């Protein structure tokens, strides 16, 4: 047995990852599709090589696959080891994993150990990591859904609640999308759904499930990212704190958020919801944008979005929806109102911080 190679379970993995770099030895394509946040990619095979080895395994068995793999790995062993040494640094420790904790991670751990690097190989690999966190997400939590019409400033309130020490999962931030047809404007490119799930899993595992958790009201899809089923099912059965903001204020918020973008981008986005707006309303909204009358354009668009939100909200149990009018534009003041509402109506023993 190699003393520099140790197989670890997920519990030990979560402990060690705090101080030891994680090396994902899967192909670049696998890594891009989804990976453990903070992991670095040192692929044993590139995308084309992995295809060749995988085909050999399926058609001719493990022995043939190993031989094909050695043809690719042999010439680049020195380079792979050098990369590992640079990442491991003076501590000379790495966590290594592949898809299921099989040949790839074991082979790379052996290679890295030749450079006297202590390697912790994750049993079950990336697949086990995802399954473990998915199971954690099935545990019941005290979730509160922050709802309200488009332009109500829900994201800003979530940020304020977070500043107050509240537990918040900002799904839109993790998805790089604000949920509507306009949601991609000004945002970074979205991750794959698998990677989005990983980011949500990572957030979830650090939460105190006995305390309140705030999440913005979302449909199952945020852009092209899908909320994990385990979380979404809890979201749909959780209380909705529906904030009510004056429509004029909502329009002004949206003007500030979107009016700076190129008119053509806004118009093309309006056209995406043409069937829902109706041809005439779509035409009026487009003309308003061309004329710089963003107030009118947004007012028209909100007619659709407000109806769509009410339609979705009406599918919930009415006894789980709690409207809260907010007359102030002060986010800190409004966040405190929400925090106190939860403390007074849902928490049997409110923490002392709720009385501040």
Residue 189 DSSP label? P
Fold: same for 5-133 and 140-355:
no
- Provide DSSP, 272-315: HTHHHH-HHHHHHHHHHHHTT-HHHHHHHHHHHHHHHHHHHHTT
Give the pLDDT confidence of 53-74 residue by residue, as tens digits.
888 888 877 787 777 777 888 8
Length of the chain: 356
Token output for 220: 């199952």
**Which CATH number is associated with domain 5-133?**
3.40.250.10
pLDDT for position 352: 47
Give the pLDDT confidence of 230-252 residue by residue, as tens digits.
999 999 999 999 999 999 999 99
Q: In degrees rounded to 5, what are phi and psi of residue 152?
A: -80, -10
Q: Which residues contact 339 (CB under 8 A, 6 or more apart)?
A: 161, 164, 166, 354
**Sequence ranges of the domains in the chain:** 5-133, 140-355
Mean pLDDT of 100-125: 95
- Topology of the domain covering 140-355: Rossmann fold (3.40.50)
Q: Is 119 an active-site residue?
A: no
Q: In degrees rounded to 5, what are phi and psi of residue 258?
A: -115, -20
Mean pLDDT of 311-340: 94
User: Measuring CA to CA, which residue among 8, 5, 28 is closest to residue 16?
Assistant: 8
pLDDT for position 60: 79
* pLDDT level of residue 348 (50, 70, 90 thresholds): low
Candidates 5, 95, 98, 270; catalytic one: 98
Q: Is the pLDDT of residue 353 over 50?
A: no
Q: What percent of the chain shows pLDDT beyond 90?
A: 86
Mean pLDDT of the chain: 93
Give the pLDDT confidence of 97-112 residue by residue, as tens digits.
999 998 899 999 999 9
Token output for 236: 């749909």
Residue 99 DSSP label? S
How far apart are alpha carbons 5 and 157 in whole angstroms?
Answer: 48
């Amino acid at each position: 047995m190699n003393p520099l190679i140790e197989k670890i379970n997920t519990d030990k993995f979560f402990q060690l990852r705090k101080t030891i770099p994680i090396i994902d030895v899967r192909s670049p394509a696998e890594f891009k599709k989804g990976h453990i946040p903070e992991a670095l990619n040192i692929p044993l095979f590139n995308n084309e090589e992995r295809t060749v080895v995988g085909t050999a395994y399926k058609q001719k068995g493990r022995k043939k696959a190993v031989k094909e793999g050695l043809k690719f790995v042999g010439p680049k062993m020195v380079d792979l080891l050098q990369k590992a040494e640079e990442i491991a640094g003076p501590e000379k420790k790495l966590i290594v994993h592949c898809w299921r904790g099989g040949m790839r991670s074991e082979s790379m751990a052996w290679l890295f150990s030749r450079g006297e690097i202590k390697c912790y190989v994750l049993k079950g690999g990336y697949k086990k990591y995802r399954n473990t966190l998915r199971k954690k997400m099935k545990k019941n939590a005290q979730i509160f859904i922050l709802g309200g019409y488009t332009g109500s400033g829900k994201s800003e309130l979530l940020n304020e609640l977070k500043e107050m020490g509240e537990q918040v999962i900002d799904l839109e931030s993790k998805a790089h999308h604000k949920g509507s047809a306009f949601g991609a404007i000004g945002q970074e490119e979205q991750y794959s759904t698998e990677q989005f799930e990983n980011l949500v899993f990572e957030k979830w595992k650090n939460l105190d499930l006995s305390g309140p958790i705030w999440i913005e009201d979302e449909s199952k899809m945020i852009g092209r990212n899908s909320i994990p089923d385990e979380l979404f099912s809890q979201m749909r059965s959780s209380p909705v704190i529906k904030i009510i903001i004056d429509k004029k204020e909502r329009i002004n918020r949206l003007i500030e958020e979107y009016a700076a973008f190129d008119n053509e981008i806004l118009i093309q986005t309006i056209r995406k919801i043409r069937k829902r707006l109706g041809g005439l309303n779509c035409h009026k909204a487009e003309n308003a944008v061309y004329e710089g009358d963003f107030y009118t354009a947004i007012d028209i668009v909100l007619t659709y979005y407000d109806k769509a939100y009410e339609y979705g909200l009406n599918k919930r149990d009415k006894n789980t929806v709690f409207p809260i009018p907010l007359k102030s534009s002060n986010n800190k003041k409004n966040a405190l109102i929400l925090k106190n509402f939860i403390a007074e109506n849902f928490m049997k023993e409110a923490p002392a911080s709720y009385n501040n």
